[in-house]
């Protein structure tokens, strides 16, 4: 992130469970889009793993798609 900031970048797209978890723990995520797929996965996996404390999210928008996907955008709260 320091290298991106040195280049004048203010935003980065982050994807992947472990990468998102690391960025959340470091307090580097300002907003996120969570996409829900209409499939139940049995035992499944925790979306964000274990985090040290609750992270408040402020809902900004939700979109639905004909396929059943639901995509919600959140800003990470104070």
**Structure token pair of residue 31:** 């907003």
Q: Is the pTM of this model over 0.85?
A: no
Output the pLDDT for position 57: 94
CATH superfamily of the 16-76 domain: Dihydrofolate Reductase, subunit A (3.40.430.10)
Give the gyration radius of the chain's Cα atoms: 14
> Rounded to an integer, what distance in angstroms lies between the CA atom of residue 21 and that of residue 49?
7
Instruction: Write the pLDDT tens digit of every residue in 39-48.
Output: 888 887 777 8
Domain residue limits, the chain:
16-76
């Amino acid at each position: 992130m320091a290298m991106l900031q040195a280049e004048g970048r203010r935003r980065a797209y982050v994807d992947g469970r472990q990468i998102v978890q690391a960025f959340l723990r470091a307090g580097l995520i300002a907003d996120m889009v969570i996409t829900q797929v209409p499939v139940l996965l049995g035992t499944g996996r925790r979306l964000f793993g274990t985090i040290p404390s609750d992270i408040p999210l402020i809902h900004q928008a939700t979109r639905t798609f004909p396929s059943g996907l639901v995509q919600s955008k959140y800003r990470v709260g104070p």
